[in-house]
Structure 1
Amino acid sequence: MSKIEQIITEIEEYIDGCKYQPLSSTKITVNKDEIEELLAELRLKIPDEIKKYQKIIVNKNAILNDANEKADEIIRQANSMTAELVSEHEIMQKAYIQANEIVQNATNQAQEILDDATHEANSVKVAAMQYTDDMLANLQNLMTHMLNGVGGRYEELMRSLNENLSIVTSNREELYPEDEVEEDDYDNLAILDEDIEDLEEYEDEDISINLD
């Protein structure tokens, strides 16, 4: 409660406590000195209260002005940020488009290089296959010629091997314990060893063949 309100309350209480005049229900008898004292006190307090309220009003206006300034600053920053975001979005879009173009160009170049390399590799492969086929054909002819030339020399050796093989096979079918093996078996094995040595010597011979 303010000072003014407190003094007004005291005046109201004082009036309520005064006695009515005789034969009247609306008029009262007051003490002049007391009422003047209360009014004087009220008069003294009014300037202080007015100053207080004026100060409050000034402070209120200052607070409102400060709030308005802060609100304006917030709005300004928001507008600035919005503009920056729009600008950044446009920049990002342009960068994204440029990046896609670079990737697409690189992909096209890589595909072109791959196609050229594949074509060249296929050409080399065909040439290599043809060269290999020619070499194999020459080798085939050479081997056929060699077989035809040495076939007669092997016939006698093969016949001897077959004879000894038959003997060895027969001996295995009639296998005896090791301490009972007959001397003929050892002779047959010796003959087989000689035939194998003859075959190895023949394989070691130099054969001169013209590949042209």
Structure 2
Amino acid sequence: MDVLNLLEKIEDIVEDASKFPLSNKVMIDKEEVLEVINEIRLKLPDEINRASWVAKERQRILTEAQSEAEELIEKVKEQQKMYIEESEIAKQAKLYAKQIVEEAEQKANDMKLGAYSYSDDILSKLQDKIKDINNIIEDNRDMLKKM
């Protein structure tokens, strides 16, 4: 910074100045010090403006970074929510599929039991018919024997 160099120059002027005997007071060249102070005054607004710009730019960058970070956090939250929902949908689909399979197996068992029952009923009726026919045959044979 130019201003710091100019302040060091004033410091050097004071350090190199002639001292009054038996005191800490020094004699300096008024014109030389005033000239350096005037240069500081001229440079100071530029330095202040640059510092102010740097501070504003820093704040803008920080605000922009904060905004981007918040957007990124929101995107991540939305993705996380979507993955959770997809996971829930998958769980529900698996549960629904399991229920369908169980219902299908139950219906298959019911149909199988129904078929067995129907077959048994048919066979029972057939057996009764065969018994009736057998009885008729025996009766007919008995009649033939008696003749």
| TM-score higher than 0.5 | yes
Secondary structure in 1 aligned to 2:54? helix
In structure 1, the residue matched to 2:30 is 32
Unmatched segments (≥5 aa) in structure 1: 128-212
Q: Which whole-Å CA distance do the structure 1 matches of 2:83 and 2:19 have between them?
A: 81
Can you list the C-alpha shifts for 1:170-207, whole angstroms capped at 9, x where unaligned? Answer: xxxxxxxxxxxxxxxxxxxxxxxxxxxxxxxxxxxxxx
In structure 2, the residue matched to 1:17 is 16
Q: Which whole-Å CA distance do the structure 2 matches of 1:114 and 1:12 have between them?
A: 109
Higher relative contact order (CA 8 A, sep 6+): 2
In structure 1, the residue matched to 2:93 is 95
Q: How does 1:56-71 map to 2 (within 5 A)?
A: 56-71=54-69
Q: Which whole-Å CA distance do the structure 1 matches of 2:104 and 2:98 have between them?
A: 10
Equivalenced residues, count: 122
In structure 1, the residue matched to 2:4 is 5
Secondary structure in 2 aligned to 1:91? helix
Q: Which whole-Å CA distance do the structure 1 matches of 2:72 and 2:111 have between them?
A: 57
- Normalised to the residue count of structure 1, the TM-score between the two structures is 0.50
Unmatched segments (≥5 aa) in structure 2: 127-147
Q: Identity, % of aligned pairs? A: 25
Q: Which whole-Å CA distance do the structure 2 matches of 1:24 and 1:99 have between them?
A: 105
Per-residue deviation at 1:45? 1.0
Q: Which whole-Å CA distance do the structure 2 matches of 1:118 and 1:13 have between them?
A: 117
Specify the structure having the higher radius of gyration (Cα): 1
RMSD (CA atoms): 2.4
Per-residue deviation at 1:91? 1.6
Alignment partner of 1:85 is 2:83 = yes
Which amino acid in structure 1 is aligned with residue 72 of structure 2? I
Q: How does 1:157-196 map to 2 (within 5 A)?
A: none
Q: Which whole-Å CA distance do the structure 2 matches of 1:118 and 1:102 have between them?
A: 24
Q: Which whole-Å CA distance do the structure 2 matches of 1:38 and 1:70 have between them?
A: 46
Identify which range, 82-91 or 107-116, moves more after superposition. Answer: 107-116
